[in-house]
Amino acid sequence: MDHSPTALFDSYEQDFRQIIDSVRAKLDGDGRDERGGQYHAEQRKAALRRVDMELDEADEMVSQMEIEIQGIPQSIKQQYQARLKTAKADLTRFKKLSKDQHSQFSRAELLASPGRVGSPSSDEPYGATSDRTRLLSGTASLEDGTRRLQESQRIALETEDQGAEILVNLRTQREQIENARDTLRTADSSIDRASGTLKRMIRRMHQQRVVTAAIIILLVLLIGIIIYEKLFG
């Protein structure tokens, strides 16, 4: 398993590219299918739904890349920031393409709906009542989709902020642990020095005791010799 600081970023970027390729294929294929008929309309609608789901996944990949880039070394961080910027630009472009095709599809559905016969009259300036209802319904659907997209973006930004905050907290905790470890090493080194000093003091004390005992014995012998000389000399 690759434990390099860029491994996860590379993995998320690869997943993002695969998703974007799939989105591109759908928007250029089924998503742009202009053929008529109920079957082809359903195909196109399903393709656009899959595009929306894949764009949500791509958005999540970009959020993960933004989190992972925080831990990349400064020496290579700039090139990864450029890659992240490119990914964001691609995501924004394909979201716009998807939104445009949704709008085109909704308009095409309204125009192709049965019952659009006759022309507007003074009593019904907007045409048939059913057409006006479908138009309002389509507009409401578009607005609802826009609101859901904005909500997804808001959640993604909140998740990004939370992830960045977690990374900062983890980095702070790691620094605290490293400082504590350095303090322990310093204390261990000080204890070793103090232990060595204490051992040397103990050796000197023993040496001084031996010297003191030798001096005492020598003095006792000299006193004994002096007393012997005085008594028997």
Cβ-contact 101, 31 below 8 angstroms: yes
C-alpha Rg value of the chain to the nearest Å: 42
Higher pLDDT, 163 or 26: 26
Question: In this structure, what token pair is assigned to residue 20?
Answer: 């974007």
pLDDT at residue 114 in the model: 54
d(CA 134, CA 111): 10
CA dihedral 82, 87, 88, 92 (to 10 degrees): 140
**Residue 167 CB-density burial (10 A; 0-12 exposed, 13-18 middle, 19+ buried):** middle
**Residue 55 CB-density burial (10 A; 0-12 exposed, 13-18 middle, 19+ buried):** buried
- CATH superfamily of this structure's domain 1-112: t-snare proteins (1.20.58.400)
d(CA 158, CA 150): 12
Angle at 34 between CA 30 and CA 39, to 5 degrees: 70
Q: What is the pLDDT of residues 185-197, one digit of tens each?
A: 887 777 888 888 8
pLDDT at 128 over 70: no
Confidence of residue 47 (pLDDT cuts 50, 70, 90): confident
Confidence of residue 53 (pLDDT cuts 50, 70, 90): very high
pLDDT at residue 125 in the model: 47
Question: In this structure, what token pair is assigned to residue 75?
Answer: 């020496």
d(CA 196, CA 177): 29
Confidence of residue 55 (pLDDT cuts 50, 70, 90): very high
Q: Which residues contact 226 (CB under 8 A, 6 or more apart)?
A: none
d(CA 60, CA 141): 24
Higher pLDDT, 115 or 200: 200
Query: Residue ranges of the domains in the chain?
Result: 1-112
Q: Mean of the pLDDT values across residues 89-96? A: 95
Mean pLDDT estimate for the chain: 82
